[in-house]
Amino acid sequence: MLRGFYTAASGMLTMQRQQEALSNNIANANTPGYKADQASIRAFPEMLLYQMGSENVPTKQPKNFPVQNPIGSINTGVYVQEYVPNFIQGSLKETGITTDLALNDGVFPDETGGIFFTVQNENGEPRYTRNGNFTVDGQGYLVSTEGYYVLDQAGNPIQTDGMEFTVNPDGQLQVGGQAIQLGIAYTANANDLEKEGNGLLAGEAGPVPAGVTYSVQQGFLEQSNVDAAQSMTQMMESYRLFEMNQKVLKAYDDSLGKTVNDVGRIG
């Protein structure tokens, strides 16, 4: 009976964590470049049950040997192993703002690959993002809406001197008669990157290799790839599963209460 408690409780905790991921996705449905998290649910190892018994051997001196007859397997619960971002590209929306940039995925040799803008966090470390909602600060640097410097291919902040600029599809920024290559980074496996908040991703990424094609569109923003309708449906499903496990847990609790208070009562 206690095993049933743990199994039902693990189901409730799993659905709660899935609800948290779905709620966060819906909250960021309008965040440019946001990648939806998917809860990876796994089952605990199954246990094989045996019926314990014995068998008599007809000998001069009868002997009793223990035997085990397999009954079947029993599941011991589920858990959320990790949150896996979905790096499928979101739709591009035209804004007409020259500081807005969007990455348009092209051809990747590996389906798990990804390209990103490179920015510098508050600790001076390079981070990666798909949110191209940039602006120019008071010192003329191209920055994200959170104030992170946008880096060029050499890893330096991009100085625009407050002048108008244009960006070619290959990611080359033209300003004041000079060309600055945006720091576009590539990773063969985007799932190796870790979310840090504010749309930033941490991990290993490098220059775009030959064979990888992409384009940068100025005056556009990549939208979140969250499917709000599907997320709401999944939230309802996980809520119902939570309620089902809750009812199972209550049934076990009632049965245990009767065992303690009624069956165990003396005279």
Q: How far apart are CA 115 and CA 183, in angstroms?
A: 10
Give the per-residue pLDDT at 103.
94
Q: How far apart are CA 16 and CA 10, in angstroms?
A: 10
Provide the token pair at 191: 């799932």
Give the per-residue pLDDT at 263.
64
Furthest-apart CA atoms within the chain: distance in Å: 107
Give the per-residue pLDDT at 228.
92
Helix (H) or strand (E) holding 5: helix 2-27
Q: How far apart are CA 215 and CA 206, in angstroms?
A: 17
Per DSSP bridges, beta strands 178-181 and 172-175 are antiparallel
Q: Which pLDDT tens digits describe the chain residue by residue (267 residues)?
A: 577 778 888 999 999 999 999 999 999 999 999 999 999 888 887 777 778 877 777 777 777 778 788 887 777 788 898 898 999 999 999 999 999 999 998 777 667 889 999 999 999 999 999 999 999 999 999 999 999 999 999 999 999 998 999 999 999 999 988 999 999 999 989 989 999 988 999 999 999 888 888 999 999 999 999 999 999 999 999 999 999 999 988 888 788 777 777 765 655
Eight-state DSSP code of residue 203: S
Give the per-residue pLDDT at 254.
82
